[in-house]
Structure 1
Amino acid sequence: MPARQSSPIPPQVPAQRGPRPGIPFLPGGDDRLRKRAAAATVWYLRLQVVLNVAAVLSLPFREEVHEHNAGDFFTPYLATAGLVSAALALFLAVVMRRRKRAAWVFNLILAGPLLCLYVVALTRDPYQDHVFNWLSTALTGLFVAALLLGRRDFDAVGDRSNPRLALVVGTVGALVSASIGTLLVHATNTRPGAALKDEIAYTLLRGISVGPLADRVAAVHAPRWADIVVNVLIAATFLLVLYACFRAPRGECLLAPDDERRLRELLDRHGDRDSLGYFALRRDKAVMFSPSGKAAVTYRVVGGVSLASGDPIGDPEAWPGAIDAWLAEARRHAWAPAVMGASEEAGTVYARHGLDALELGDEAIVDLPDFTLEGRAMRVVRQAHNRVRRAGYTVRIRRHEDIPDEEMALLVDRADRWRDGATERGFSMALGRLGDPADGRCVMLECRDAEGVPRALLSFVPWGEAGLSLDLMRRDRDGENGLMEYMVVELLLRAEELGVRRVSLNFAMFRSVFERGSRLGAGPVLRLWRSVLTFFSRWWQIESLYRANAKYRPVWEPRFLLFAKSSDIPRIGLASARAEGFLAPPSLPALTRRRQPADAEPATTEPSGTR
């Protein structure tokens, strides 16, 4: 991972928090007690994970627990020395840490009656004679007390479809796991003559515990490894049911027409600030406006992560209000907030709201008044441009609104055929559609060979009144090598015809590592990090995109990943990969409503794919 940034983004300044709506604000001491009690419930569950796993792995410890449970003893809440209890405690610890209200209710429903049962048992012989029973009751009582004290901290809501999904998953999962387990028990049973109902009962009891609980079925005896397999199957099913119960709400998938209209109005007034601003109009995003309506944050929920991209849209003075609204929505649903590709200015504002920063890379921006093909530094680009031009290739530049509908349909069809692979990619730096009538101010570049056959196209979105930002790059594999360089140079040389003064090209991830790591005197850590990135560049165009864009002598603008907790970075990484199209789980809905650009196409000397 890149080094934590300390200079571009100022130190984290916690946002001022007031009372949450509908919840009386507690005095400072009571507020601290509530938070400590909520944290204690999570640590209790984590401890039960460790103890249950240790009991499963350690025969003496496991036998000791089973002896207690089978005799005149009882153990604390969720301490049963079984994989199911370990899996349950682990899952509950995770969702309780995310402040899920449903998880709090679930724990209270399980632990509350259990505590009452323990208290009643302690009034009778022989249970009251054992100190361990008093300890178990005390630990369970402390857990319930911590639940009640910290109840206001567990305010994250779930998806309303969760109960229905959990019922379906539980029914199907129970049938599948119980059937497989029963078949396994039947095949490995060492005692002949067992009835089917005995094998089913043994399977279900063994799913709860690998201890002596199932030994009550005298007609069945399976090997130890079979007991463990059955226990794991039931535990896996139970985890799937829990996931269905407590999964985070998926959020809104489409941008409402009225929201899009308001965003376009903000872009008309403040679109010059951010080259990625127009990509906020992707229709698979949701939007949170500031109370004044002068700023907005667009985001998409992926895997429990509320993933925003670029800078907030609108007046910077209203950004804090939009960020507060977005963070409040994330907290209400227990989403992990994250921002991909924020600028240094936006990162500074986000940092004041409690987010930390990592530098992802740099955006290549070409200022057209300073661009020239003259000089030794531009020799490679100049030669590639001249070679393709001598081969008879030509470029046509038009706004989308100037392209007839029939011709645009042909361009969209070619873009689909030239796409590298079936997966649509792009989120933070891609518009996700081509040829939409609402995007008339976008710019299309079409490249044809000497015979007039279309060979490549580029599409740029508006960046305010006098800028363009790269959205889509597609080319025919049979075309001349260097087509993309030729087209980019043609745009840079002829951009004045469109009134354009700056162009944003590809994003170069970890650019500073490649640049500083190749310098004389670079340290061993930086050189090692550069070597690792160079190795992975064989599969992902990390270094090649940097080299391809560096040819145009651009101004490099850093872009940051912003997050609330370092422990959420793996989740954010997976969510980003899913949003960008690099990971496509079977359950992830495809964006079939709109055409989207493809990602980078492999090439040797030219930038390719989307940003």
Structure 2
Amino acid sequence: MTAAASEVGRQTRRLVDLARSGASGAPVSLGLLVVIWVLGLATSSVLSGPSKFVERHFAAGVVPVEHGRLWVVLTSGLWAGGLVGYLVATLLVVFVAAPVEHRIGSRRFAVAAAATQLLGTTAALMAAVLVRELDWGWGFRLHIGVAVSPTTWVVGAAMVASSAMDTLWRRRIRVGVLALLLTLALFSGHLQDLVVLASAVAGLLLGPSIVGRSARGEHLAGSRREGRVLVALVVAAAAIGPALAALSPNAVGPLAVLRDLFRGAGVSPAEVREICAQSRGAEDCRRGLLALRLGGVGPTVLMLMPSVLLLVLADGLRRGRRFAWWAAVVAQVLLLGLSLANFAVRYLGLDGTQSLFYGLHSPNLYRTLAPFLTPLAVLLVLLATRRFFDVAAPAGTYRRCAAVVLGTVLGLGSGYLAVGYLVRGQFDREPTAAALLADFPQRLVPPVYLQWLDPQFLPDSRVTTALYEWTGVVFWLVLCVAVAATFLAADRAATDDTDRARRLLTASGGSALSWMTTWAGNRYWFSPDGTGYVAYRVIGGVALTTGDPVGPPETVRAHVTEFAEFASANGWTPCFYSVTGELRAVTDALGWGGFQVAEETVLRLDGLAFTGKRFQDVRTALNRAKKSGIRAEWIEFPHAPLALTDQINAISEEWVADKGMPEMGFTLGGTDQLDDPQVRCLIAVDDDRTVHGVTSWMPVYRDGEVVGWTLDFMRRRTEGFRPAMEFLIASAALLLAEEGAEFVSLSGAPLAKVEAADADDIDETGDDDEERWERSVFGAVMDRVLDVLGRTLEPVYGFRSLLAFKSKFQPEYVPMYMTFPDPAALPSIGNAIGRAYLPDVSLGQGLRLVRTVIGRG
């Protein structure tokens, strides 16, 4: 059996065990499920839905409440709308309600289910009465409608339970569920849709009082990766709405106005031409032409294709693609423009004629403006989250995509012209070659957007109908596939420069932090002789590097000089950050200034054994892990099972949320940096495959060989195995020693250093004291500023605590420096470093940081 098959089997068993364990501790939800089936069978409601008697006396609705049957707000949750409804309810109870009850307890589950059923149904009925005042058509449907479904209390209880969940799942469940329910309410628009939405909102409000809040609080801060996922959910929900309206002939919501456009009338082209011959501008003529355009499978599929493309773009947003963001923004702007044009023509009558856009019935102002709201809301979300989407595709990706799309357009156009001309007699009006060529662009546009244009000819046979209706479908399918392929091409946005940098790094080697130069966000300067490079980013006029130049040791001085000249030629101030003492000596010889900014901790692996009193904490962690059934396991994050990577993402999001600030970057990696096959992850897992902690290790090369590994990512589960980090670091050191590695670097802690070490005492240059930067006024002031900053941020990010934690492993302390040629540029350099570490911090988060520091300080 392969490892993949074994993992699938293990996860299947885990899912079955989860359902079984949840069921064993869920008497309320399973008891309600039994009651639902018994009542359904007793009232003959299982196969064909609630009987008239049930609808009159037990289903929720405005009319039953007006007749004094107030109990319906509770009893409506004990029936379902037919066999499919009962089966769905069973699945929801077993896989949602039962685990929720098992998690929060039966008493609190019963309170949550009853409260959300009562409040949600009541609020939805009140909303139905209010809607009738705004939109009589929708309000009338709600007024005469009835609602029955256990989904109401299942969703409500789940939203209550989300209040005490971990950050990642609390956020995902809330955004996903609310986006879906809001879409159903606005597009499908039945009373039951409003009831479930209202129940979910009630669950959100009641959650803290019923189950309390998460121990980590309600912080909204999250990683860039999670922000991308949430935005993608919003865009996907907005794309599903029109498709839902198109495929649901019974949709009645305020945004379901598209449904009339998908109902073709049973008329032939000849009948339509006869009507239009009498008066082409008559409404009956235009209705007939519209019916011919919208009727049939091809036009329906074509009108769904923009929604499919938006779903593809949502996947690109999930991956952080810049192109997906721009394309989604353009799509929303176009939808917004069409909605505004509809309003101008339909309500203001700017074109002097009657438009059939968005339905055939005369709408009021509210209903005409309703479609304007969805693209506007999505556009605002996209604009507010622009900073999340900065992943670029490899060079040439979109040129190839454009070539494929353009080739498809040319091929389809040629085919449409050639075939159309050959069968021109099978149209209702024989077209010329010029007319076919002029008509081709319209074949690529969903017919819903062609209502203001009268067709010059219509198909009148199977061949011409296929040509007329499916040409656009083929174009959109190719477009969707081509765009999707650009997102799958290289998820890490590896550029040609990044690939070149990796090759140089693996061939020649670098410092312990050199693998960070391959991270997204860096730009590259390559030496003229092609032997090395400098990774840098330009922020506020400062060319801020990541570590030492990469290349042969004898070329370092030349690389520093040449890069400085390159930066100066572009008007930038060069600054080498987190560099070794060797590079500090080189820049000192050049007359640059510099000072220590961090302390790297290094473990030599030759003969390493965690013995003696000084390693007591480390041995305790190893022994406790063994007794607790915790083991260390190497994985590659890009190829690891979803069950593991999802837990790692959840652990990371909980950690970020606890800070209340965005995840730091620059020389501090996050989950994005795990997605690298050359980075190894060591996780602490138990027999149930629960991840208790995770560390990541970056390779350190010398002359083409891996000689060491550098610790980057460290996270542990809040309620998991407590000494997980001690266990993982010690296990990694022992395992890597067995593999022949020379050392492991526990990396540096920014703004932290060992006070006792005289790390700044370097005198390789022989300069006079007056020329020593450390002893200058600038150096003393800047060193003091960094010391104060480190102490100030300690309550939030804990860099000094991290350095103290690493001391448990009795490492060697290696100072890391920042060097620069011009002390007058220090304010700009300080700003650049701050923005590099926190590129996504907003004004609100900055104020929250200040409050947190004051509160914890």
TM-score by length of 1: 0.48
Q: Which has the larger radius of gyration?
A: 2
TM-score by length of 2: 0.35
Higher helix share: 2
